[in-house]
């Protein structure tokens, strides 16, 4: 089969199209014929090991010290059709269309991948595809959808509350804006100039261009701040919270967590951080919202599998609005 192999830690050109063996499903596994994957900021950061030490060190110990070994095909998100099922598989059948995220097993940049029918922990999660969208769009639901749902559910948003989303124009943020709207919030989205029209089109009540305006200095106060990118100094960010507000840190460094903890210990403001729990239940919730029309997937550009390195270069320019798709196999819808 054709696969884009992750040959070394480094720039996009370390991703090389090769012929590799089609994997065979073990007992309890399914073989998926992959139709689409995505390039997330996370895929790029993993590829080049551009991650905080607390993540890059354990990742390197797991994936390979000198070069990627245990996981040598990137593409965390995937969607495709089940080609074959291993012994004892009950949850899925041949021909079912599925989507999900494969965590530290990755594998989306290949024509076939095996997944456990019941993934555990770091193995990610998968479920059947929403009936009303293409496999390309389904490939881009999981990461942004589950990260956003995880954090926004922790804030227990009440109707009419003011929610600010920092870094709203990417994979996580575009889902976050729509989920916060679904929970009844009044949403302000922050990103760069070229993404603001798109952010209005998916429901943002207000937008702020971070390249021109500093939200920490405009006097506004928010009930919930969902910081997706983690570049805002925590003390300034917390000043923009209402007295009992909640600061959701999706991407914190240890120093920020400590500073945030100190700042919140002397006020009624709350700070929330920690790893997202990927669950089938949460993925099914997202699928339902998509089928109800409450949530849509924002696609920026689509690249064929053989141009995966170009797609990584494009994502690293920071121009991506929403999601970038890798089409592994042409689909019908």
**Site of interaction with ligand NAP (CB under 6 A):** 40-42, 45, 143, 147, 166-167, 169-173, 190-192, 195, 210, 228-229, 231, 250-251, 318, 320
CB of 87 to ligand NAP, least distance (A): 31
Per-residue three-class SS string for the chain: CEEEEECCCCCHHHEEEEECCCCCCCCCEEEEEEEEEEECHHHHHHHCCCCCHHHHHHHHHHHCCCCCCCCCCCCCEEEEEEEEECCCCCCCCCCCEEEEECHHHCCCCECEEEEECCCCHHHCEEEECCCCCCHHHHCCCHHHHHHHHHHHHHHCCCCCCEEEEECCCCHHHHHHHHHHHHCCCEEEEEECHHHHHHHHHCCCCEEEECCCCCHHHCCCCEEEEEECCCCCCHHHHHHCEEEEEEEEECCCCHHHHHHHHHHHHCCCCEEECCCCCCCHHHHHHHHHHHHCCCCCCCEEEEEEHHHHHHHHHHHHCCCCCCEEEEECCCCCC
Q: Which residue, 1 or 229, is less far from ligand NAP as judged by CB?
A: 229
* Cβ proximity of 254 and 234 under 8 Å: no
CB of 237 to ligand NAP, least distance (A): 11
CB of 187 to ligand NAP, least distance (A): 14
CB of 21 to ligand NAP, least distance (A): 27
Q: Which residue, 98 or 250, is less far from ligand NAP as judged by CB?
A: 250
Q: Which residue, 302 or 331, is less far from ligand NAP as judged by CB?
A: 302
CB of 171 to ligand NAP, least distance (A): 4
Q: Which residue, 216 or 331, is less far from ligand NAP as judged by CB?
A: 216
β-strand pairing of 29-39 with 112-116: antiparallel
Distances (CA, A) of 219 to 21, 222, 240: 59, 10, 7
CB of 172 to ligand NAP, least distance (A): 3
Q: Which residue, 166 or 240, is less far from ligand NAP as judged by CB?
A: 166
Q: Which residue, 93 or 231, is less far from ligand NAP as judged by CB?
A: 231
CB of 258 to ligand NAP, least distance (A): 19
Q: Which residue, 164 or 289, is less far from ligand NAP as judged by CB?
A: 164
Q: Which residue, 29 or 316, is less far from ligand NAP as judged by CB?
A: 316
CB of 22 to ligand NAP, least distance (A): 26
- Cβ count near 242 (within 10 Å): 16
Q: Which residue, 41 or 248, is less far from ligand NAP as judged by CB?
A: 41
Token code pair at residue 320 = 């991506």
Instruction: Identify which of 279, 45, 107 has the alpha carbon closest to the alpha carbon of residue 115.
Output: 107
CB of 142 to ligand NAP, least distance (A): 10
């Amino acid at each position: 089969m054709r696969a884009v192999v992750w040959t070394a830690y480094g720039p996009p050109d370390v991703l090389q199209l090769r012929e590799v063996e089609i994997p065979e499903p073990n007992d309890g596994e399914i073989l998926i014929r992959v139709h689409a994957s995505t390039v997330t900021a996370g895929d790029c950061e993993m590829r080049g090991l551009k991650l905080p030490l607390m993540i890059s060190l354990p990742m390197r110990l797991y994936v390979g010290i000198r070069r990627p070994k245990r996981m040598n095909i990137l593409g965390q998100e995937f969607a495709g059709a089940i080609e074959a099922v291993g012994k004892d598989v009950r949850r899925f059948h041949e021909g079912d269309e599925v989507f999900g995220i494969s965590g530290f097993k990755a594998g989306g940049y290949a024509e076939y991948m095996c997944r456990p029918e019941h993934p555990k922990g770091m193995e990610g999660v998968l479920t059947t595809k929403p009936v009303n969208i293409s496999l390309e769009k389904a490939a881009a639901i999981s990461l942004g959808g589950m990260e956003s749902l995880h954090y926004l559910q922790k804030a227990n948003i009440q109707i009419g509350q003011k929610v600010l989303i920092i870094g709203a124009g990417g994979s996580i943020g575009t889902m976050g804006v729509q989920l916060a709207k679904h929970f009844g919030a009044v949403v302000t989205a922050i990103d760069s100039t070229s993404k603001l029209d798109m952010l209005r089109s998916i429901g943002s009540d207000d937008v702020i261009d971070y390249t021109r305006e500093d939200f920490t200095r405009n006097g506004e106060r928010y009930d919930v701040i969902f910081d997706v990118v983690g570049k805002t100094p925590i003390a300034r960010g917390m000043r923009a919270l209402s007295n009992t507000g909640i600061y959701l840190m999706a991407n914190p460094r240890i120093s920020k967590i400590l500073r945030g903890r100190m700042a919140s210990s002397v006020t009624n403001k709350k700070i929330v951080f920690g790893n997202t729990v990927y669950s089938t239940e949460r993925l099914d919730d997202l699928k339902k919202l998509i089928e109800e029309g409450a949530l849509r997937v924002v696609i920026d550009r689509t690249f064929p599998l053989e141009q995966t390195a170009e797609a990584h270069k494009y994502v690293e320019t920071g121009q991506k609005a929403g999601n970038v798709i890798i089409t592994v196999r042409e689909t019908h819808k």
